[in-house]
């Protein structure tokens, strides 16, 4: 059994870009030492390390937007011996199973939803319909700080007003029962946007810069709003058997940290049909809001040429359909409809706003 000073081979994953590298990890009293094959070294302090879902054969640890996966659950036992402070937070394989069971048996009503969600993948839609939206709000509220730390949220007033203008036109087309939206711009060069349960949407600065017009941004925002309206994140949680931690968080039935919950949300994969449904819903929103859907089309034309390097199109969510297929669908939709669009923002004002927040 590995002891003090031992190393494990691991796969290091950048959760934003999904880049993977081989690395060696070694637990110490203060944290987990991570050394990449390129010779980079860093230490993950135990206070910031959380445990991901993992699998029967792999343990997953996360820290500051990265994760390592190790095909040896005995590493957790060694970590407990070397750093006792981790015993209440990092679970061994046996302890993790007990935690899942505890999370599922917190109440008869919860068990009914969770059992269906976990046992039968195709029952995800029914389970989502049965779960109250208050759960979604609580989950998103708990995780938003991990995706949009307060120190990285853009506080520029002009950016805020521009986002309110764009989002406001779109929001007015959504039924009140679908819930509210909380949209935050984060100072990060990634060309991406992320939707969390409960209507929380994180837009990265890189996406603003990549949007040549406010109509392009509106297309992306409408797509992300549709993920929230159609509850795709909750469905994905059910498909990936992560509901046990959601149930535990909402009900307080098991020890699940915010970081772990956020890590599971970051690792979710939207299904192809979810992405296409979000595209279709976004186009209808643009029509109802009288926003030119040509911006959505031009966004795909532009970023489609960079396929493989743009997270919003395919790296951060690996199951995004090929951009060319999505582009064809958007183009056919536009050709079948003729409507009068109203401008969103003055072009000069947008050119100034889109380069802020850095």
192-219, pLDDT tens digit by residue? Answer: 899 998 999 999 999 999 999 999 999 9
The pLDDT, as a whole number, for residue 257 is: 55
Mean pLDDT of the chain: 78
Q: Which of 2-16, 46-60, 168-182, 304-318 has the highest mean pLDDT?
A: 168-182
Interatomic CA distance for residues 58 and 74, integer angstroms: 10
Confirm if 295 and 215 have CB atoms less than 8 A apart: yes
Closest residue by Cα to residue 184 from 171, 193, 173: 193
Percentage with pLDDT > 70 across the chain: 72
Confirm if 34 and 23 have CB atoms less than 8 A apart: yes
The confidence band for 97, taking pLDDT boundaries of 50, 70 and 90, is: very low
The confidence band for 92, taking pLDDT boundaries of 50, 70 and 90, is: confident
Domains, the chain, with CATH or none: 8-90 (2.30.29.30), 109-353 (no CATH)
The pLDDT, as a whole number, for residue 234 is: 81
Interatomic CA distance for residues 138 and 197, integer angstroms: 8
The pLDDT, as a whole number, for residue 55 is: 75
Candidate from 26-30, 117-121, 170-174 with smallest mean pLDDT: 117-121
Q: What is the three-class DSSP state of 244?
A: helix
pLDDT tens digits for 218-276?
999 999 999 999 998 888 776 654 555 555 555 554 445 555 556 666 556 677 788 88
What stretches of the chain adopt beta strand conformation (E)? 8-14, 20-27, 31-36, 41-45, 50-51, 59-63, 66-70, 182-186, 193-196, 200-204
Interatomic CA distance for residues 20 and 13, integer angstroms: 5
The pLDDT, as a whole number, for residue 74 is: 84
- Provide the edge-to-edge strand list for the sheet that holds 182-186: 182-186, 200-204, 193-196
Interatomic CA distance for residues 69 and 205, integer angstroms: 29
Q: Encoding tokens for residue 328? A: 């064809």
The pLDDT, as a whole number, for residue 109 is: 46
DSSP state of 153: B
pLDDT tens digits for 21-65?
999 999 888 899 999 888 888 999 998 999 887 677 789 999 998
The pLDDT, as a whole number, for residue 130 is: 63
The pLDDT, as a whole number, for residue 253 is: 47
- Furthest CA-CA distance within the chain: 70
Q: Residue 286 class from Cβ within 10 Å (0-12 exposed, 13-18 middle, 19+ buried)?
A: buried
pLDDT at 180 over 50: yes
């Amino acid at each position: 059994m590995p002891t003090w000073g031992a190393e494990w081979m691991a796969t290091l994953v950048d959760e934003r870009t999904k880049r993977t590298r081989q690395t060696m990890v070694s637990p110490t009293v203060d944290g987990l030492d991570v050394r990449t094959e390129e010779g980079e070294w860093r230490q993950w302090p135990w206070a910031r390390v959380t445990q991901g879902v993992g699998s029967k054969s792999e343990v997953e640890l996360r820290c500051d937007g990265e994760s390592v996966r190790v095909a040896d659950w005995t590493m957790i036992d060694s970590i407990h011996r070397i750093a006792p402070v981790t015993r209440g937070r990092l679970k061994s394989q046996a302890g993790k199973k007990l935690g899942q069971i505890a999370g599922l048996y917190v109440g008869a009503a919860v068990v009914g939803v969770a059992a269906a969600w976990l046992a039968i993948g195709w029952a995800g839609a029914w389970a989502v319909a049965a779960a109250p939206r208050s759960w979604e709000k609580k989950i998103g509220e708990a995780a938003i700080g991990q995706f949009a730390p307060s120190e990285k949220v853009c506080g520029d007033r002009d950016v805020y007003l521009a986002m309110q203008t764009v989002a406001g036109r779109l929001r007015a087309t959504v039924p009140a029962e679908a819930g509210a939206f909380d949209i935050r711009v984060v100072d990060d060069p990634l060309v991406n946007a992320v939707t969390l349960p409960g209507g929380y949407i994180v837009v990265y600065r890189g996406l603003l810069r990549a949007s040549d017009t406010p109509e392009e941004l509106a297309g992306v925002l409408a797509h992300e709003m549709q993920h929230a309206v159609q509850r795709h994140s909750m469905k994905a949680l059910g498909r990936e058997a992560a509901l046990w931690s959601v149930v535990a968080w909402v009900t307080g039935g098991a020890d699940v940290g915010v970081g772990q919950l956020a890590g599971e949300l970051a690792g979710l994969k939207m299904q192809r049909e979810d992405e296409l449904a979000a595209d279709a819903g976004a186009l209808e929103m643009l029509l109802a809001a009288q926003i030119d859907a040509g911006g959505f089309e031009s966004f795909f034309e532009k970023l489609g040429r960079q396929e493989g390097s743009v997270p919003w199109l395919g790296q951060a969510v690996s199951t995004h359909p090929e951009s060319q297929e999505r582009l064809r669908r958007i183009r056919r939709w536009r050709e079948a409809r003729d409507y009068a669009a109203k401008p969103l923002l003055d072009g000069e004002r947008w050119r100034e706003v889109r380069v802020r927040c850095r």
